[in-house]
Chains A and B, each alone.
Chain A
């Protein structure tokens, strides 16, 4: 594995993403009637916490099996959401990227249990995530999407790509 310094640096970035996502969820005040919660913030929060545990052992929260189950449910929701978006407004990039994030997360947990399974898939995920992170950063600096969400997505994409390549 790379030195602890690098793993800790990426873990710190993921902690920041988790904190931002949690703050956004709290600001959405889901306990009040009629308020809506951004499911992507929940996804970012879950994935950031999960990655923290993978990057730094001291930040592990729940058992791996529990994470695999939670990420499977998350992936199923993202598939449903992407399918709903496709039906509503045709094929778009963003739901597909969330789907890749969810699938890559689940892959990482499964591959950690059984190393050297389909390494080419890890590189494929890493390429897509790194490519979209670059695209997102460009759009973010052009002032197009929500800067906070796009920033979280970029940070998660780069960190996930890093983990996939290191694990492959």
Chain B
């Protein structure tokens, strides 16, 4: 088993950066900044934003759904004022992580904010509804922001064992979601992708259409393949370095496919997106788990 670079404080082999953790922190800061800018879009200042949040309550247990409905109603009533606050908080999180003296404060605040958004804005990513699909963004982008903030904490918030456990839980969770009845039904994935054709440039719609046609009624087979790939990625961080690297590359490739096909690049070009969805975050997470470079003379040590 190899050491994880950002957790161990070492250098990842993928880059000769002086501080891998800092580079990944800056990527996280960039994503928060992008979220803030998307949150400033004109549509977010209308009642439509609150209505889209209210929709995430559907299918959730009552104790999860009721606060979402309350929150969404409040946002619809005070759409402008609250959205100014939301967007500005995210702007400050992005700038705060990028600015070295405030990185700890901003990372800590980002965990609290991300967990709040995961519940009140994403309905826990739909993981309790039985219909959430990893292909379309489950378990929700917000919780991945929180996970990244914990992993990239400047002073090792978690040890290697805990970090690996979090990775295992995340990817086994994705495998479990892929095999849920709503996702493994023969035409489920086809219908999901076909339903995403509208919105965005024509080439993206063509990509969705082609992917839906390719999958057709083979939803069960695709779900099994996805679950197997997710499981392989999940256990990959426990393998020796070369195998771990291979599974992390696989994780990045899966994240890319999910982002392009299932998430339509976060629907950013279609307008109305508040974040780039889970694809870029899964890829960033994979980079955060990149094994540390073995120092000369360490090879072969127990």
Q: Spell out A's residues near B (CB within 8 Å).
A: 1-3, 5-6, 119-120, 123, 126-127, 130-131, 133-135, 137-138, 140-142, 158, 161-162, 165-166, 168
The total of chain B residues at the interface (CB under 8 A) is: 26
Which of A120, A134, A138, A165: most chain B Cβ within 10 A?
Answer: A134
Bound complex: CA of A38 vs CA of B81, how far in Å? Answer: 41
- Contact assessment for B40 and A6 in the assembled complex, using a CB-CB cutoff below 8 Å: yes
Given A3-B84, A123-B268, decide whether A130 and B30 contact each other with a Cβ distance below 8 A.
Answer: yes
Inside 8 A of B87's CB, which chain A residues have their CB?
6
Bound complex: CA of A131 vs CA of B280, how far in Å? Answer: 14
* Chain B window 30-64, contacts with chain A (Cβ cutoff 8 Å), 1 for yes, 0 for no: 10011001101110010000000000000000000
Inside 8 A of B34's CB, which chain A residues have their CB?
126-127, 130
**Contact pick for A6, options B22, B33, B84, B100, CB 8 Å:** B84
Residue B297 is within 8 A (CB to CB) of chain A in the complex: no
Residue B94 is within 8 A (CB to CB) of chain A in the complex: yes
Bound complex: CA of A135 vs CA of B25, how far in Å? Answer: 10
- Contact assessment for A141 and B40 in the assembled complex, using a CB-CB cutoff below 8 Å: no
- Contact assessment for B41 and A166 in the assembled complex, using a CB-CB cutoff below 8 Å: yes
Nearest chain A CB to B99 CB, angstrom units: 5
- Contact assessment for B268 and A134 in the assembled complex, using a CB-CB cutoff below 8 Å: no
- Contact assessment for B98 and A134 in the assembled complex, using a CB-CB cutoff below 8 Å: yes
- Contact assessment for B94 and A134 in the assembled complex, using a CB-CB cutoff below 8 Å: yes
Given A130-B34, A134-B94, decide whether A119 and B99 contact each other with a Cβ distance below 8 A.
Answer: no
Q: Which residue of A lies closest to B103 (CB)?
A: A141
Inside 8 A of B84's CB, which chain A residues have their CB?
3, 5-6
* Chain B window 130-159, contacts with chain A (Cβ cutoff 8 Å), 1 for yes, 0 for no: 000000000000000000000000000000
Q: Which residue of B lies closest to A7 (CB)?
A: B40
Bound complex: CA of A133 vs CA of B34, how far in Å? Answer: 11
- Contact assessment for A119 and B33 in the assembled complex, using a CB-CB cutoff below 8 Å: no
Q: Which residue of A lies closest to B22 (CB)?
A: A138
Given A3-B84, A138-B98, A141-B100, decide whether A130 and B33 contact each other with a Cβ distance below 8 A.
Answer: yes
- Contact assessment for A162 and B201 in the assembled complex, using a CB-CB cutoff below 8 Å: no
Bound complex: CA of A137 vs CA of B87, how far in Å? Answer: 19
Nearest chain B CB to A5 CB, angstrom units: 7
- Contact assessment for A134 and B38 in the assembled complex, using a CB-CB cutoff below 8 Å: no
- Contact assessment for A142 and B100 in the assembled complex, using a CB-CB cutoff below 8 Å: yes
- Contact assessment for A162 and B268 in the assembled complex, using a CB-CB cutoff below 8 Å: no
- Contact assessment for A137 and B95 in the assembled complex, using a CB-CB cutoff below 8 Å: yes
- Contact assessment for B33 and A133 in the assembled complex, using a CB-CB cutoff below 8 Å: yes
Residue B269 is within 8 A (CB to CB) of chain A in the complex: yes
- Contact assessment for A137 and B98 in the assembled complex, using a CB-CB cutoff below 8 Å: yes
- Contact assessment for A141 and B101 in the assembled complex, using a CB-CB cutoff below 8 Å: yes
Q: Which residue of B lies closest to A1 (CB)?
A: B42
- Contact assessment for B40 and A134 in the assembled complex, using a CB-CB cutoff below 8 Å: no
Bound complex: CA of A4 vs CA of B41, how far in Å? Answer: 13
Bound complex: CA of A165 vs CA of B40, how far in Å? Answer: 8
Inside 8 A of A126's CB, which chain B residues have their CB?
34, 37
Inside 8 A of B91's CB, which chain A residues have their CB?
158
Inside 8 A of A131's CB, which chain B residues have their CB?
30
* Chain B window 59-95, contacts with chain A (Cβ cutoff 8 Å), 1 for yes, 0 for no: 0000000000000000000001000100100010011
Inside 8 A of A134's CB, which chain B residues have their CB?
26, 29-30, 33, 94-95, 98
* Chain B window 1-41, contacts with chain A (Cβ cutoff 8 Å), 1 for yes, 0 for no: 00000000000000000000010001001100110011011
Inside 8 A of B100's CB, which chain A residues have their CB?
138, 141-142
- Contact assessment for B269 and A135 in the assembled complex, using a CB-CB cutoff below 8 Å: no
